[in-house]
């Protein structure tokens, strides 16, 4: 079981936030400028400050790259916060939102939508969010024990079993469909932000804001749960209520992120670890920094995905997996050494 150890002397000073803000500003500028059609940094910034609707480069930045950039930040922030919440609730450093079957549930309902002929990104997002929510609720209920509430081992097994079953059903739907449907699903399944615009941005923003308020409001509760369930109960914390609220926050955050951008791995795993190294385990610092680092990580992955195979693109989900897989291996090795 993961027992976070205090890290004396580690803080989240203004220096970290200043560095994160400066990096974010640079990345936003790069995101406006970089793509299959390269636009000078100065011209891309002029598209924001002095928009000219007759300028095709300004239109490209305004209509495509601005919403894509802010959607990447929102999705990354939601996944980073959901991962931190998941790791704190389970006291497991390898926990991430996918354990609840969010990705597989969203993928299955998106496959159904595509099979039915749905092509609008906003409608696909609605289907994905419904699938993510139903899967998470099913995993939570399967992980219940009538006498002692939630059981982490049962929940993980339920999530793994449900994910395998839904993945098989999704494969059957897609393989049995047309080549056009297969192409549409592949575009969503790689975690691509290409073509995601203002139609999905407002909904994603609202849902992730609600999830963030819920998660950030649990900071003191999570500090108490880190001491163990018995200690938390002695402090007057209802562990069952905390699990319900925490899982609701995870579903809102990761469900909206997955619905908007497709399944994206490793952001929810890596961002909380990086934040914990910088700020320690106090959740009023850990949770906001996990959001910030998640936003930075996914924005970097999206920018890199646009340039590695120009004029084509690699989905941000595929790029984040490519970058995050070595990190996951190193983390697992470190845990094995610590346990030996």
In order along its 340 residues, the chain shows pLDDT tens digits of 444 444 444 444 677 788 888 999 999 999 998 887 778 888 888 888 888 888 888 888 888 899 999 999 999 999 999 999 988 888 777 778 877 788 889 889 988 998 888 877 778 888 888 898 898 888 878 876 544 555 667 777 888 888 889 989 999 988 888 888 888 888 788 777 877 778 889 989 999 999 999 999 999 888 888 877 777 777 778 777 888 888 889 889 988 898 888 888 889 888 998 888 888 888 988 999 999 999 999 999 999 988 887 778 888 888 888 877 777 677 667 666 665 4
Number of neighbours of residue 305 by Cβ within 10 angstroms: 24
What superfamily does domain 65-86+95-339 belong to in CATH? ABC transporter involved in vitamin B12 uptake, BtuC (1.10.3470.10)
With b for 16 or more beta-carbon neighbours within 10 A and e for fewer, the 147-164 pattern comes to eeebebeebbebbeebbe
Nearest Cα to 28, choosing from 81, 74, 83?
74
How is residue 99 annotated by DSSP?
G
Contact criterion met (CB below 8 Å) for 186 and 114: no
Per-domain residue ranges of the chain: 65-86+95-339
Let me know if 26 is exposed, middle or buried by CB neighbors in 10 A (0-12, 13-18, 19+): exposed
Backbone φ and ψ for 37, nearest 5 degrees, come out as -110, 105
Closest CA to 79 of 284, 243, 324, 309: 324
Query: Which residue's structure tokens are 């939570």?
Result: 140
Task: Give the burial class of 22: count Cβ atoms within 10 A of its Cβ; 0-12 exposed, 13-18 middle, 19 or more buried.
Answer: exposed
Tell me the C-alpha distance between 32 and 201, whole Å. 17
pTM score, two decimals?
0.87
Q: Produce one character per residue of 111-136: b if its CB has 16 or more CB atoms within 10 Å, e if not.
A: bbbbbeebeebbebbbbbbbbbbbbb
């Amino acid at each position: 079981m993961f027992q976070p150890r205090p890290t004396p002397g580690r803080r989240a000073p203004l220096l970290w936030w200043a560095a994160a803000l400066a990096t974010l500003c640079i990345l936003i500028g790069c995101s406006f400028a970089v793509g299959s059609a390269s636009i000078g940094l100065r011209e891309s910034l002029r598209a924001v400050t002095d928009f000219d609707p007759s300028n095709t480069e300004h239109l490209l930045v305004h209509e495509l790259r601005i919403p894509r950039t802010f959607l990447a930040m929102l999705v990354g922030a939601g996944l980073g916060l959901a991962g931190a919440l998941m790791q704190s609730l389970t006291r497991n450093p390898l926990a991430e939102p996918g354990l609840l079957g969010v990705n597989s549930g969203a993928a299955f309902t998106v496959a159904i939508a595509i099979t039915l002929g749905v092509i609008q990104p906003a409608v696909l997002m609605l289907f994905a969010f419904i699938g993510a929510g139903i899967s998470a609720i099913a995993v939570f209920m399967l992980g219940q024990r009538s006498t002692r509430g939630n059981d982490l081992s049962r929940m993980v097994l339920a999530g793994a079993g449900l994910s395998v079953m839904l993945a098989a059903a999704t494969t059957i739907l897609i393989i049995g469909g047309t080549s056009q449907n297969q192409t549409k699903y592949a575009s969503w399944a790689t975690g691509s932000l290409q073509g995601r615009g203002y139609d999905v941005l407002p909904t994603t923003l609202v849902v992730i804001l609600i999830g963030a308020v819920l998660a950030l409001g649990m900071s003191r509760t999570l500090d108490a749960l880190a001491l163990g369930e018995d200690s938390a109960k002695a402090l007057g914390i209802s562990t069952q209520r905390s699990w319900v609220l925490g899982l609701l926050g995870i579903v809102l955050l990761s469900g909206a992120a997955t619905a908007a951008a497709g399944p994206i791995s490793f952001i929810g795993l890596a961002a909380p670890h990086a934040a914990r190294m910088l700020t320690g385990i106090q959740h009023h610092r850990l949770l906001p920094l996990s959001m910030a680092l998640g936003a930075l990580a996914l924005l970097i992955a999206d920018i890199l995905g646009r340039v590695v195979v120009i004029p084509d693109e690699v989905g941000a989900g595929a790029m984040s997996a490519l970058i995050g897989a070595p990190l996951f291996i190193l983390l697992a090795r470190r845990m094995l050494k610590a346990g030996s």
